[in-house]
Chain A
Amino acid sequence: MSHAPTRGRLLFLLCLINFLRLLSPANAGAQSQPPTSYALTHAKIFTLAGSAIEDGTLIIHEGKIAAVGVGLDIPADAQVIDATGLQVYPGFFDSITQMGLREIGAVSATVDSTETGSYNPDVVAATAVSASSEHIPVTRAAGITEVLAVPGSGGFDSAGAGGVIGGQASAIHLAGWTIDEMLIKKSAAMVLNWPEIETRTFDFATFSRKEKPYSEAKLEYDKQVNEITDWLERARHYAQALEKGSVAKYDRDLKLEALTPVIRGELPLLVFADRSREIRAAVEFCDKQRLRMVLAGGSEAYKVKDLLRSKGVPVILRPVLTLPLDEDDPYDRLLSQPAELAAAGVKFAFASFDNSFARRLGQNAANAVAYGLPYEEALKAVTLYPAHIFGLDEQIGTLEQGKLANVIVTNGDPLELTTDVKYLFIRGQLTSLDNRHLHLYEKYAKRPKSAK
Chain B
Amino acid sequence: MNSSSVFLMNARRIQFLYLLPLLNFLYLLPAPAATPPDTPAVTVIRNATILTVSHGTIEHGSILIKDGKIAEVGASVNAPKDAQVIDAAGLFVIPGIIDCHSHIAAESINEGSVSVSSMVNMAEILNPEDIDIYRDLAGGVTAANILHGSANAIGGQTLVIKLRWGQPATKLPFEGALPGIKFALGENPKRSNFSIPGQPKRYPATRMGVEETIRGAFSEARDYKKAWDDYNKRFAAGEKNLIPPRRDLRLEPLVEVLEGKRYVHSHCYREDEILMLLRVAKEFGFKVRTFQHVLEGYKIADELAAAGVGASTFSDWWAYKVEAYDAIPHNAALMTRRGVVVSINSDDAEEATHLNQEAAKSMKFGGLSHDEALKMVTLNPAMQLGIDKRVGTIDVGKDADLAIYNRDPLSAYAMVQKTLIDGRVYFDRQRDQAERSEREKEKKALVDKFKKAAEKKPEEKKPEEKKPDATAPSGQKPAESKSEQKKSEEKKPQEKPKPPQSSASDSAAADQRGGAL
Q: Are the C-beta atoms of A330 and B491 separated by less than 8 Å? A: no
Q: Which residues on B sit within 8 Å (CB–CB) of A354?
A: 496-497
User: How far apart are A447's CB and chain B's nearest CB, in angstroms?
Assistant: 8
Q: Among B301, B476, B482, B498, point to the contact of A156 (Cβ < 8 A).
A: B498
A42 within 8 A of B: no
B75 within 8 A of A: no
Q: Which residues on B sit within 8 Å (CB–CB) of A103?
A: 319
* Interchain Cβ contacts under 8 Å between A and B, 12 examples: A104-B320, A106-B493, A163-B483, A201-B482, A206-B479, A209-B504, A318-B497, A323-B350, A357-B497, A363-B412, A416-B412, A444-B334
Q: Chain A 97-139 against B: per-residue CB contact (8 Å), 1 yes, 0 no?
A: 0000001111100000000001000000000000000110010
User: How far apart are B68's CB and chain A's nearest CB, in angstroms?
Assistant: 25
User: How far apart are B354's CB and chain A's nearest CB, in angstroms?
Assistant: 6
Q: Which of B490-517 contact A (CB under 8 A)?
A: 490-504, 506, 508-509, 512-513
Docked complex Cα distance between A151 and B68 (Å): 54
Q: Are the C-beta atoms of A357 and B512 separated by less than 8 Å? A: no
Given contacts A155-B490, A417-B361, contact A107 B321 (CB under 8 A): yes
B119 within 8 A of A: no
A210 within 8 A of B: yes
Interface size on B, residues (CB 8 A): 94
B326 within 8 A of A: yes
A146 within 8 A of B: no
Docked complex Cα distance between A318 and B414 (Å): 21
Q: Which of these binds chain B: A64-72, A237-245, A366-374, A387-395?
A: A366-374
Q: Are the C-beta atoms of A118 and B483 separated by less than 8 Å? A: yes
Docked complex Cα distance between A418 and B489 (Å): 36
User: How far apart are B294's CB and chain A's nearest CB, in angstroms?
Assistant: 13
Interface residues on A, range: 35 or more
Q: Among B134, B198, B478, point to the contact of A331 (Cβ < 8 A).
A: B134
A40 within 8 A of B: no
Q: Are the C-beta atoms of A207 and B410 separated by less than 8 Å? A: no
Q: B-contacting residues of A (Cβ < 8 Å)? A: 1-2, 16, 103-107, 118, 134-135, 138, 154-158, 160-161, 163, 196, 198-210, 212-213, 216, 220, 274-275, 297, 299, 318-319, 321-323, 325-328, 330-332, 352-357, 359-360, 362-363, 366-367, 369-371, 415-420, 436-437, 440-441, 444-445, 447, 449-450, 452
Q: Among B334, B363, B415, point to the contact of A418 (Cβ < 8 A).
A: B363
Docked complex Cα distance between A357 and B324 (Å): 13
B179 within 8 A of A: no
Q: Which residues on A sit within 8 Å (CB–CB) of B395?
A: none
User: How far apart are B370's CB and chain A's nearest CB, in angstroms?
Assistant: 9
User: How far apart are B231's CB and chain A's nearest CB, in angstroms?
Assistant: 39
Q: Which residues on A sit within 8 Å (CB–CB) of B195?
A: 1-2
Docked complex Cα distance between A417 and B194 (Å): 35
Docked complex Cα distance between A202 and B413 (Å): 38
Dominant secondary structure of chain A at its interface with chain B: loop
Q: Are the C-beta atoms of B503 and A367 separated by less than 8 Å? A: no
Q: Are the C-beta atoms of A205 and B482 separated by less than 8 Å? A: no
Q: Are the C-beta atoms of B302 and A417 separated by less than 8 Å? A: no
- A-B pairs with the 8 shortest C-beta distances? A202-B504, A450-B302, A366-B412, A200-B503, A204-B488, A106-B321, A441-B330, A206-B472
Q: Are the C-beta atoms of B328 and A440 separated by less than 8 Å? A: yes
Docked complex Cα distance between A331 and B354 (Å): 13
Q: Which residues on B sit within 8 Å (CB–CB) of A321?
A: 350, 353-354
Q: Which residues on B sit within 8 Å (CB–CB) of A436?
A: 328
Q: Chain B 411-455 against A: per-residue CB contact (8 Å), 1 yes, 0 no?
A: 111110000000000000000110010010001000000000000
Docked complex Cα distance between A201 and B410 (Å): 40
Q: Among A1, A205, A360, point to the contact of B476 (Cβ < 8 A).
A: A205
Q: Among A105, A213, A327, point to the contact of B321 (Cβ < 8 A).
A: A105
Which residue on chain B has the smallest CB distance to residue A138?
Answer: B318
Q: Are the C-beta atoms of A208 and B469 separated by less than 8 Å? A: yes
Which residue on chain B has the smallest CB distance to residue A274?
Answer: B499
Q: Which residues on A sit within 8 Å (CB–CB) of B509?
A: 202, 207
Docked complex Cα distance between A436 and B324 (Å): 13
Q: Which residues on A sit within 8 Å (CB–CB) of B324?
A: 104
Q: Are the C-beta atoms of A106 and B193 separated by less than 8 Å? A: yes
